[in-house]
Amino acid sequence: MNATIELTGLEFSHRLFRLAKVQVWRAKRFAALDGDGMSGAAANRERECVTTAVALTAEAAYDWVTWASLATRVPLARQLDSRGWRGLVTRWRALPQIARSSCHSGEFQLGEVRESFLADLGAWNAALTYSDPEGRWMVQKRLAALGLIDGREGEGHLVSADLASRLVTEATDLFVWAGSVTGLPTPASSRQSIARILSSAA
């Protein structure tokens, strides 16, 4: 029963990430319509697709690392982030222990670049999906540090198909790396490899 539950969790995160990619494709289609001089409805639909893509990507990252911890019997960190949540960065820091439990080298760290991406993904998700004030503040602080906005404007003009595409691309890189260091399948694995794992465990 446990194996079935764990493999179902893997399949679920894989499906979520696949749906996120579909939403990126749809966002790009609406962006093209808006660029061709269509009504503002296309821009609204683009934003809806971006919000959905970001939420699905964040959930896939959350669900996969949870599944990986269950599959390898590694408890995830219990410390909370600044908002009292067990956020993405905190959960993903268990990856070295997960790798060791799956008989791979755990002599690595998540690293500043990957932690920064996970923090950005979580902040964008909170800002777009939940209209969370702290999520918006985190996004604006990060964008201001990068020189993409100043104190007189918000982040709204950056919510675009390009944002969704960048986050999904970076998530793909993260999942590929996670698979390489742990030896576990990830949402970036092919559908055929996921299907083989599921069928062999049936």
Q: What is the pLDDT of residues 26-77, one digit of tens each?
A: 999 999 886 655 567 888 899 999 999 999 999 999 999 999 998 888 887 6
Which residues are CB-neighbours of 44 under 8 A, at least 6 positions away? none
Cα separation, 62 vs 1, in Å, equals 22
Cα separation, 65 vs 77, in Å, equals 12
pLDDT in tens, 68-112: 998 888 887 654 555 444 589 989 999 999 999 988 998 999 999
Q: What is the pTM of this model?
A: 0.84
Cα separation, 104 vs 182, in Å, equals 6
Residue 171's nearest CA partner among 106, 135, 122 is 122
- DSSP code at position 83: T
Count of alpha carbons within 13 Å of 170, Cβ hemisphere only? 18
Alpha-carbon Rg for the chain in angstroms: 18
Stretch (H or E) spanning 121: helix 112-129
